[in-house]
Amino acid sequence: MSLSSSSLLSIENLAFERDDSRLFDGINLTVNGGDILQIEGANGSGKTTLLRLLTGALQPSAGRINYQGQPISENRYDYLADMLYIGHQPAVKLNLTAEENLRWMVASAAKSNRVAVADALAEVGLAGYSDIPCYTLSAGQHRRVALARLLISEARLWYLDEPFTAIDKQGVSLLQSCLQHHVAQGGLVVLSTHQDLALNNVRKYNLLSRAEYLV
């Protein structure tokens, strides 16, 4: 299904304080369907915090996050239904198999397509591992289980925190292809990564300098 390319997300004067210390402030961004926004900054600069603010898991100290022109507090259900977040940790349940994990992840999502779980796992290189408990799998395979959600999700907003962690070159290539396909359909990707992306029209935003540029 082709996704709308209209403006999806805007951030106005966003600030966040932790332990009476301001981590960042004055963040202003407008992100549209078809965009890939890469958040940059040194460790501890607030990349994960910003992503968690965007998901609604944290509340800003000041400023506002808008979805389709409205504060996310006013259309929270629609916003959460249109969002997929994959954190720095893959959130895989070790006692479940890869297939059971993915079925659980899909069941908890509001929007999924018709791609079969077995096909998604095969696409990310886990054919033959789908019925094995995840405690026997490697860290890279755990990450692939989580990333298989991208092949099934119909959410337009993808928030990804260091998604290239622990995956090999083949996995990097597959993930970049998946991201490019998503934005080609009008989806939006906001991610933090130290990986050099071989993707078109990546916008970068540096948390330390508040500078934005296109690569």
Q: What is the pLDDT of residues 184-202, one digit of tens each?
A: 999 999 999 988 888 888 9
Spatial separation of the C-alpha atoms in residues 207 and 61, rounded to whole Å: 16
Whether pTM exceeds 0.85: yes
What mean pLDDT, rounded, does the chain reach? 90
- Sorting pLDDT into bands at 50, 70 and 90, what band is 211? confident
Distance of CA 118 to the CA centre of its chain: 22
- Predicted pLDDT at 2: 41
Spatial separation of the C-alpha atoms in residues 179 and 183, rounded to whole Å: 6
CA distances from 72 to 7, 86, 190, 193 (A): 14, 19, 17, 25
More confident residue, 137 or 212: 137
Burial 173-186 (b: 16+ CB within 10 A, else e): ebbbebbbebbeeb
8-45: pLDDT as tens digits: 899 999 999 988 889 999 999 999 999 999 999 988 89
CA distances from 161 to 45, 50, 104 (A): 14, 10, 20
SS3 label, residue 160:
strand
CA distances from 91 to 33, 73, 105, 173 (A): 27, 26, 10, 22
- Nearest to residue 131, comparing CAs of 139, 122, 123, 140? 122
Any idea which architecture 1-82+157-162+186-215 has in CATH? 3-Layer(aba) Sandwich (3.40)
For residue 192, the cross-strand partners are 39, 161
SS3 label, residue 30:
strand
The domain spans of the chain are 1-82+157-162+186-215, 88-155
